[in-house]
Amino acid sequence: MLTFLLVLVVFSILIIVHELGHMFVAKKVGVKVERFSLGFGKKLFGIKKGETEYVLSLFPFGGYVKMAGDNPAELKGTPEEFFSKSPLKRFLIVVGGPVTNYIFAFVLFTAIFVVGAPSLTTRVGRLLPDYPAAKSGIKVNDVIFEIDGKSVEYWSDLVNIVQKSTSGSALRFGIKRDARILNFRIAPKIIKTKNIFGQEMTIGMIGISPREEMIFVKHNLFQSISLGAERLIMLTGLTYRGLWLLITGGLPVRESVTGPIGIAFLIGEAAKSGFVYLLAIMAHINIALAVFNLLPFPILDGGHILFLGIEKLRGKPVSPRTQEVISQVALYLLVALALFVSWNDVTKFLPFMK
């Protein structure tokens, strides 16, 4: 029950952030916002502040902003209506939601680096038999502090150096064992493996795995902002690359796509690991939500942007009837995709289906 409430809170935060982005820009460009709803369906309760009614609706996993004149059939021709505004202003309103999710992800990553990002130490936890490290004399609990004269503090630093060493040349490892400092020369074994996108790659391996020894690395605000931006850019690139591979068939949909059920499971697991992990999964979801919403697919924000682009090129909007038909078809396709992804999540994450 506690996990369900936590998932509900996280989803609600993501929805509120997204819809606030739409509402903020709408109000800035002079569009009347009639309703801000957390959830869909029947209104449970609400309060009115100024021109806007803020409501909680029956089905909590979703939300919307109702603007004056955002439905062509309801147009009255007043300047405060959505369709009374120029294509540029309507574009800014539509893109406001995804951009706000993106900004929120950046804020979360920055906060993580300020509070302290968890990192594995370089203490050896296990040696794989028949690999170079086991044959070299390295032992479990040794701490690797240096590789070829370069200091390594975290496991990710160590992995990055070793995996890039595919020339066959030996690396010099500086080791702390109790009070002693030892040196070993180890030539990584060159192997072929697959990256997170299922593509084949060549890496170096010495055959060690880390001990479950974590440290929290804190940074000052300016360093955290820089690291947060780097993480945001890196994950955005990975998201778009994965999306492209899905579209072109380079990644299997069944193994690669996760829906609300899978996301809820991941949120629950992150929460068990600690608050920082929960912030991290929230940041990842915000990026995914921003990217997904910007896809040029009708009924998504990206679909509205597509229609605006067509309107700009033609000099007049796509007819309401055409938009309605396209949106209905898109809705059916999106529902079908949601059902497929949800069933896939059930088979992957729920124990009784395994």
For position 353, what pLDDT does the model report?
A: 47
| Gap between the Cα atoms of 7 and 335, Å rounded | 22
* Span 213-256, pLDDT tens digits: 888 889 999 999 999 999 999 999 988 888 888 888 777 777 77
Q: Which CATH architecture describes the domain 118-217?
A: Roll (2.30)
pLDDT digits (tens, 9 = 90+) for 243-300: 888 888 777 777 777 877 788 888 888 878 788 889 999 999 999 999 999 999 988 9
Residues carrying CATH 2.30.42.10, the chain: 118-217
Residue in 123, 204, 131, 116 with CA at minimum distance from that of residue 167: 204
Q: How confident is the model at residue 350 (pLDDT cuts 50, 70, 90)?
A: low
Give me the active site residues, please: 19
Q: Is 30 helix (H, G, I), strand (E, B) or coil?
A: coil
Measured at the alpha carbon of residue 288, what is the angle toward residues 282 and 290, in degrees to the nearest 5?
A: 100
For the chain, give the mean pLDDT.
89
What number of other Cβ atoms are within 10 A of residue 185's Cβ? 12
Write down the pTM of the prediction. Answer: 0.83
Rounded-to-10 torsion of CA 293, 294, 300, 304: 150
DSSP one-letter string for 261-278: HHHHHHHHHHHHH-HHHH
pLDDT digits (tens, 9 = 90+) for 146-182: 999 999 999 999 999 999 999 889 999 999 998 899 9
Cβ atoms 41, 97 nearer than 8 A = no
Task: State residue 69's pLDDT score.
Answer: 87
pLDDT digits (tens, 9 = 90+) for 102-126: 999 999 999 999 999 889 999 999 9
Which secondary-structure segment (H or E) carries 145? strand 143-147
